[in-house]
Structure 1
Amino acid sequence: MDIHAIREQIRAGNYKFSDHAVKRMIKRSIRREEMEAVVLHDEIIEEYPHDKYSQAV
């Protein structure tokens, strides 16, 4: 999935955070709105298309 498709899903509210992500967000005091803003407005500086577990951006 490319970043444009991911952003569309974020704008539509069509996403879920994993339990692991929620735990990390709480531990680091990161709000949902902050995560959304990063995905919607920041730029990708490095991609890992052949990541061991899954494609990562």
Structure 2
Amino acid sequence: MLQHFYKDISMLHPRARTMLILSVPAILIGIACSLILIVAMKVAALLQRVLWSNLPAQLG
């Protein structure tokens, strides 16, 4: 009975090695998401400049 209890507890808490292995893809996904966000912000700034400054100036 006690061995079964400890086996269940060990299944609930991931080991440090497993957490380290899973942190690598998490870091890579975080870096990729931040790069995508930076690109999206630059595109949005470009569109804002074109739509609100350049285009009205050209159309009069």
Give the shorter-chain TM-score range: under 0.3
Asked which structure has the greater CA Rg, the reply is 2
Higher helix share: 2
Q: TM-score w.r.t. structure 2 length?
A: 0.24
Pick 1 or 2: higher relative contact order, CA cutoff 8 A, min separation 6: 1
